[in-house]
Structure 1
Amino acid sequence: MWMWFLRLTLSGQYIYYFSPRFVERVKSLAMKIETGCRLHFGLIDLSRESNRVDGGIGLGLKYPGIVIEAEESDILQVQGPKRERAKTAATAVIQEYGLDPVKITIRQTIPPHRGLGWGTQLSLAVGFAVAEINDKKLSTRTMAEVVGRGGTSGIGTAVFSEGGFILDGGHSLDSKSGFLPSAASDVPPPPVLSRLEFPDWHIKIFLPDSVGAHGSDELTVFEEGCPIPIDEVQKLSHIILMKLIPSIAQGDYILFREAINSMQFIGFKKREIKRQPDSLSLVNELQEMGYAAGMSSLGPAVFVISPDPIDIEYDGVKSIDTEASTTGAEFTDR
């Protein structure tokens, strides 16, 4: 189970990271939690040709991210943007363990429904805020089950714990009934098969003026796009095993670019990106310019990755310069 790693900053604050190393800590009366976000490179197997389904690959990013503050309170209070989602997560943890209420203030959030995993990061951050104020120790996996995340991809829960590049092993069809997004699936997060440090490459996100499928629309994407032909699943698996993972492990940008670019037009990702024509246009243009580029999750967020600075902007399209995360969420006593 992931425990805590303690680091003393130059300012005299103690910051706690998820780590397999254990450090005792006292109950917090007030705290701040900061997360990053994630890029989701794709789901691997939605064919139903074996006893497993899903399987995810993705990357933790330092920003944009969630920043929340929490303190003791006589009643549950949630302030700030997306407070209804946050209140749902807080209530789930309070009711599951019979904990005392807290006051939560959301200072910063991730753009929602853009393919950056805002729901998982917010729900986990709020859930842990409630638990920590109550001195309740939980693993990320357990917390994800309580707040209802990780039922399809395990990337968001894994990068909340440890950052980095993540490959997860999907779910058994003995426990998961079929092709469902995380919001509609109540199974635990999948096992992490591999976690790698990502090369020190530049990353830029473009946010076209649209939103990704969510709610009932997200269910429709899975219903209409699945099952994926097994030959596409096998081709994608080969790209991941023999190109993408080795390229990250060895810092081989040329091989990485070849893998990422080809992954946009195969398997479930091909079905996702066709639903976002503005994102598809950006991806095609960026790839033609020689970059590794793709769409994250259901979009519309487009990512471009390069060993060199990325000096590209598009009129009317917001951009964010970021970098890969090397640690999980930060917990700071206030």
Structure 2
Amino acid sequence: MPTSPGRLSPPSAITVESPARLHLGFIDPNASLGRSFGSVGLAIDAHSTCLTVRHAPAAAHHGRIDGRIDGGIDGAASVAQRERIEQHLAALHAAFGAGPALDIELHHTPRAHTGLGSGTQLALALGTAFARVRGLDASSADIARVLSRGLRSGIGIHGFDHGGLIVDGGRAAGTLLPPLIARQDFPEAWRVLLIDDTSREGLHGDDEKRGLASLAPFPAYLAAHLSHLVLMRILPAVAERDFAPFADALCDLQQTIGEYFAPVQGGVFASPAVACAIEAVAAEQKAGIGQTSWGPVGFAFVESAQDAERALAAARRVAPGASLNYTIAAARNRGATWRAAAPGQRGADAA
């Protein structure tokens, strides 16, 4: 793993902003045709992760990580998120060696366990900022390996680097991270309505592992069908900016993979309220509908900003519950960004 300092002196504070992603579906969840998983996903311009890492003042060593003094963590949304950051810092210190104490400031992150890839984006943003303020030459793949990301899907890692529509090649024996096999700019005019049921969380951790282990083998003919959908329908439709075949193929992919995961998550959608709202959109206009990862966030792709407003109105009419949050987003055709931040000025560096 490269760890040599860069030629230029590293900045003392770095702000990193990384995109959320939609996981649009697995292609072969349990290697019925040879490689496991394989993912399709899209980086979006909403629900990003933004944080700043800076050298801590010498007199402001607030906590300890694995027996060594480190700086403080401000802005964590929960105790669990703070603990996750502490664990990541411990792993980064172990992999890259001791260095100056660091302060971490979170400006904003998506709600955890909703299908937006918040865990991977937090890890990669933190690791990237850590490496840059330390003057280390570490790639996103290096950081992902240190922090145990990309064990099934590579969408979050490749989306962090490149943005846009991503297809990864899944895992085979000896594969460390799912390889990037296709990346396309997504049409700027197309929009996606996101609906989050804030009363729920998607499967994660040990529950996710048990859920995956409980599923029946994925039929080879369905893996072949999904492969065809991705290669011959979704990717060409995006390349040609042809919305209707994209929407039809995405609905087909989502229905197929959703039915496979339904025994674990309680249906094709994890949230009945989200399902009701998303299906109302599809009843009124052409839309590519589904759920990102384990949800509960559902999505409806539409062809324009005007169509997105119509979709939002339709969803709200049938599912006005207080637990539902709505966002209209576009694709993000670039990866994470970073910039030097002012040292010692907390709260002033959010992107």
> Equivalent of 1:263, from 253, 261, 281?
253
- 2:74 counterpart of 1:89: no
Q: Deviations over 1:108-131 (max 9, x none)?
A: 111110000000000111111111
Larger radius of gyration: 2
Greater alpha carbon shift after TM alignment, 76-85 vs 56-65: 76-85
Q: Equivalent residues in 2 for 1:122-133 (5 A)?
A: 122-133=122-133
Question: Where does the alignment leave 5 or more consecutive residues of structure 1 unmatched?
Answer: 2-22, 176-186
Question: Where does the alignment leave 5 or more consecutive residues of structure 2 unmatched?
Answer: 59-69, 342-351
Rate the CA distance shift 1:137–1:226 in 2: closer, same or farther, 3 A. Answer: farther
Q: Secondary structure, in 3 states, of the residue corresponding to 2:255?
A: coil
Runs of 4+, deviation exceeding 6 Å: none
> Equivalent of 1:330, from 317, 337, 343?
337
Aligned residues of 2:255 and 2:268 also touching (Cα < 8 A): no
Deviation at residue 25 of structure 1 after TM alignment: 4.9
Q: TM-score, normalised on structure 1?
A: 0.85
Aligned amino acid, residue 206 of structure 1: I
Distance 2:302 2:257 in 1: 24
- 2:291 counterpart of 1:295: yes
Identity among equivalent positions (%) equals 27
Distance 2:260 2:275 in 1: 10
Match of 1:214 in 2: 204
Match of 2:48 in 1: 65
Deviation at residue 294 of structure 1 after TM alignment: 1.1
Distance 1:271 1:280 in 2: 15
Match of 1:232 in 2: 222
Match of 2:66 in 1: none
Aligned amino acid, residue 238 of structure 1: H
Rate the CA distance shift 1:242–1:212 in 2: closer, same or farther, 3 A. Answer: same
Aligned length, in residue pairs: 301
- 2:119 counterpart of 1:105: no
Aligned residues of 1:264 and 1:270 also touching (Cα < 8 A): no
Rate the CA distance shift 1:232–1:50 in 2: closer, same or farther, 3 A. Answer: closer
Aligned residues of 1:233 and 1:267 also touching (Cα < 8 A): no
Match of 1:252 in 2: 242
Aligned amino acid, residue 112 of structure 1: A
Aligned residues of 1:99 and 1:134 also touching (Cα < 8 A): no
Match of 2:9 in 1: 26
Distance 2:45 2:92 in 1: 26
Distance 1:130 1:47 in 2: 35
Rate the CA distance shift 1:286–1:99 in 2: closer, same or farther, 3 A. Answer: farther
> Equivalent of 2:268, from 271, 274, 298?
274
> Equivalent of 2:23, from 33, 40, 47?
40
Q: RMSD in angstroms over aligned alpha carbons? A: 1.9
Deviation at residue 227 of structure 1 after TM alignment: 1.8
Match of 1:19 in 2: none
Deviation at residue 271 of structure 1 after TM alignment: 1.4
Deviation at residue 248 of structure 1 after TM alignment: 0.7
Q: Secondary structure, in 3 states, of the residue corresponding to 1:274?
A: coil
> Equivalent of 1:203, from 181, 185, 192?
192
Greater alpha carbon shift after TM alignment, 230-239 vs 77-86: 77-86
Q: Secondary structure, in 3 states, of the residue corresponding to 2:183?
A: strand
